[in-house]
Structure 1
Amino acid sequence: MKKFILLIISFILLIPYISFGATQNGTYLNVKIGNNINISENISLSADNGFYLYDKNSKREITYIENNHLIAKGNQNGIIEIYDQSYNYITEISGDGSVILGSGNTRDSIVQVDQNKYRDYITFLVRNNEILLLNHIELDNYLYGVLPREIPASSPIEALKAQAIASRSYTMANINKHINEGYNLCDKVHCQVYGAYDNENPATNQAVDETKGTYAYYDGKIIDATFHSTSGGYTEDSSNVWGNSVPYLVAVEDEFSANTPNSNWTVEITARELKDKLLSSGVDIGDIIEIQLLDITEANRVQKLKIKGTKGEHILSSSNFRNLVGASFLKSTWFNVSTTGASSNTKVYALSGDSTVPREMNLDDAYILNDANKSTVSRDIVSRAIGKDRTSSLDGKSSSKPTTFVFNGKGYGHGVGMSQYGAIEMAKQGYNYEDIIKHYYKDVELINEN
């Protein structure tokens, strides 16, 4: 067996540099796959017909390794060491991502990393004693892995084409989202969910192929084509979600999403659970008494809310509240809230200083007074009546605090841009992908750059 000793020395600035651009093979980007890996951990690589090592930018071949199975690991000098399956040393490459590994099948490179297969190339970044594993991949090959993770592959082809154009446009508009970390995009929902080669589907691949080179443009620029699962009947203006007004990301009436999955939903959270979640985020306002919705947008979504507790109150944006309780739990910011569990087995009365007639009162508005301050009623209390000669207890207890908050809502996701289930319904009704794109993104045009 041949052994290769190869040291790639590169002189780079400390600021990471990403090269992506048209080559003879198309537009490439670096997608971070999976979680960071400890520098001493073994990474298993497999490929048919061995491996080629290439310079990332020029795609010039550096050397060939005949082994079909390799092990890669890092060292403290920021170098990636390559071994065969018997841990015989083969070569080493710089951990700056400048060298990429592809399979020996140059027509259709598929590289397996542990249990997952990826198109095109694999490369490595060494950062703070960890390895960032990157898939250096051509744009449409990347979209093959995105679409089946972002929209049901069983959707009508026109909806899949609309998703392909939205995802392609979103990719290029956000190409430098992780530039300061040394790569272009991640494989999580923070960018777009990206699956491996084995997750691809013929229908979604067809949608990518049949829209190849097509982007949505506004005022001469590729749009940031955000999308979400379903609007529930009305999309949202970007300024109400992210604070930036984008002329093509405005609220539109969306009857196509009105009766789709998650267009209506109900969830519950106990007062105790909500208290614990606030405590975990560093907010202590005591037992939760009430949730007040403060600002509602024209598209019916909550912008700001107040949580009242026995020790104070806390105001936060609905997006932060959704993240606090879980974005998959509270599916959108279009909701109202009610309570259950508050009980009153006896009526509560109070005597004012200028009256001899007791008046019924609401414990939520009651305070316990002493010489120093006032405090909210914070527990079940035994009501007492003070008479001329003695104090007597009334039967039963009163509770001023709810035990559960009930959220009734509409839609799933941030609500900005294309509703995926709305697109599916439009396609079912005979609309094509251009109709869908122009319904959800105002005043855009589709341009094919091939």
Structure 2
Amino acid sequence: MKKIIILCGLLLLTFFWGILELKYGSHTENRKKLITVLQQENMDQTGTGIQEDTETQKENVVQTALGSEREIRVLLKSDGYASEYHTDICLTSDGDYKIRNGENSSLCRAGEEIRITSQSDLFAKEDVLQVSSDGGMFYFPELGRAEEDIGYEGSLEIRKTDQGLLLVNVLSLEDYLCGVLPSEMSASFPTEALKAQAICARTYAIQQQESGRAKAYGADLDDSTSYQVYNNRCHGEETDQAVKETAGLVMMQDGVLADARYYSTSCGLDLHMDLSEDSVFAAFLQEDKKRSVEAEEPMYRWKTSIRLSDLQAKTEWKRIESLEITERDDRGAAVCLEVAGQKSTGRKSVCEKIEGEYQIRQFLALADPVITLQDESTREGWQLLPSAFILLNPVTEEEGLTGYEILGGGYGHGEGLSQNGAKHMAEQGENYEEILKNYYGAIEIVRYSS
């Protein structure tokens, strides 16, 4: 009798699988995971029968298994994010791993460290290596990141090009997000802020994947600030949990994925304010009443000064006569800077425009400014000014204009979620949905399906 019951159970499981295959297709890996999940969920502890389950529960099991299969391809940049290309790659794994090149394959034991260059015999057949491990994590001992010994899940693809080696990490989207979250937001932030960040990061990643922006490198995005930072910090329990509790959730706006950009600290931006007029922005930035939830953050207001002689020494300008912000966007960020003076290659005075908030921040940072934060601490070594939310106040000496004092606010581009703002909103009791709608306006938070 016991054997008959077991046999009936297996027949019922096979029948149920047939229905699933018709509905979802015969993907080998999905099938294995679905069978495992269904067996675990539906078999009772004695193993003698299948427990009754609702259609809703069955559908949830299926969706969970299939949803976890969405993969993403992450280009891992070189040491310190200096380049897309590597001259050589040193890698190992804590599990046995296989390197495949066409029909050839090599087995490496756990802990075995190898170095790959463009001249490696591993590229004997093709210009692409596929590296996989049965459950092991990959490590790159010589890859400079903020923390050491950070493991990479999934598999690797190493492609030989004329410029060098391209290194791509292929893994599930949710595992990728577990590597993004601690690199983009402190694990000490409140849970609701971490959840908001997870939804932003997931929405952003899928946007980049669908845009094909990094297609030339065989990837969906890279691991640097050019996209969103991945595996610069070690995983944490709090950040992993935030990803898990928001699994699959994204922001939609008008039927499409919302613009999910985010940044560190705002200068009190309000979605309903138009700060494009210079005088209006100046009054806003200098007002005594600080209305933002992050008004006490050190980067909320900052100041610095630059000398024109320092800019001249780092640029093609022989003499800079003046700098003027001639255009701001409606948030108040400088988007056009006019530089007047004489170029090193010419004799006449000219006036040139530097357009784009990033380009302006980069140009002014060439003067090697020391940034003084509102808590009177200082920071130096900036490649960009903290933000483009700035006012330029002329500094004159006996010989005339010598430079500018810069009053600024916030840290980052100012689009979308302010991470420190999210932290303070969460501390005040707001949940992740309230936080996101505060920064993105009329959005819906839904489970994404392509």
TM-score by length of 2: 0.66
Is the 1:240–1:303 contact (alpha carbons within 8 Å) kept by the matching residues of 2? no
2:362 to 309, 323, 333: 323
User: Unaligned regions of 5+ residues in structure 2, if any?
Assistant: 1-29, 31-64, 79-83, 143-148, 277-289, 343-348, 366-381
1:208 to 221, 243, 246: 243
CA distance in 1, matches of 2:110, 2:447: 41
The match for 1:391 is none
> How far does residue 329 in structure 1 lie from its aligned partner after superposition?
4.4
Cα distance change of structure 1 residues 220 and 92 upon mapping to structure 2, 3 Å threshold: farther
Identical pairs, percent: 27
* Secondary structure in 1 matching 2:260: coil
Higher strand share: 1
The match for 1:45 is 91
- 1:359-402 Cα offsets, whole Å, 9 max, x none, are xxxxxxxxxxxxxxxxxxxxxxxxxxxxxxxxxxxxxxxx22x2
Is the 1:257–1:419 contact (alpha carbons within 8 Å) kept by the matching residues of 2? no
The match for 2:296 is 259
The match for 2:225 is 189
The count of aligned residue pairs is 334
Is the 2:275–2:330 contact (alpha carbons within 8 Å) kept by the matching residues of 1? no
CA distance in 2, matches of 1:65, 1:407: 56
> How far does residue 52 in structure 1 lie from its aligned partner after superposition?
4.0
Cα distance change of structure 1 residues 318 and 185 upon mapping to structure 2, 3 Å threshold: closer
Cα distance change of structure 1 residues 163 and 48 upon mapping to structure 2, 3 Å threshold: same
Within 5 A, what are the aligned runs for 1:61-80? Answer: 65-66=108-109, 68-75=111-118
> How far does residue 334 in structure 1 lie from its aligned partner after superposition?
1.2
Cα distance change of structure 1 residues 235 and 416 upon mapping to structure 2, 3 Å threshold: farther
> 2:378 matched to 1:342?
no
User: Which AA in structure 2 matches 1:156?
Assistant: P
CA distance in 2, matches of 1:179, 1:67: 32
CA distance in 2, matches of 1:291, 1:427: 40
> How far does residue 409 in structure 1 lie from its aligned partner after superposition?
0.9
2:127 to 95, 118, 124: 95
TM-score by length of 1: 0.66
> How far does residue 186 in structure 1 lie from its aligned partner after superposition?
0.8
CA distance in 1, matches of 2:85, 2:337: 40
The match for 1:27 is 70
* Superposition CA RMSD, Å: 3.2
CA distance in 1, matches of 2:101, 2:174: 21
> 2:138 matched to 1:111?
yes
Is the 2:271–2:439 contact (alpha carbons within 8 Å) kept by the matching residues of 1? no
The match for 1:383 is none
Higher mean displacement: 156-165 or 312-321: 312-321
> 2:360 matched to 1:314?
no
The match for 1:409 is 408
User: Unaligned regions of 5+ residues in structure 1, if any?
Assistant: 1-20, 57-61, 83-90, 242-252, 344-398
Is the 1:46–1:68 contact (alpha carbons within 8 Å) kept by the matching residues of 2? yes
The match for 1:351 is none
1:148 to 171, 179, 182: 182
The match for 2:16 is none
> 2:323 matched to 1:291?
yes
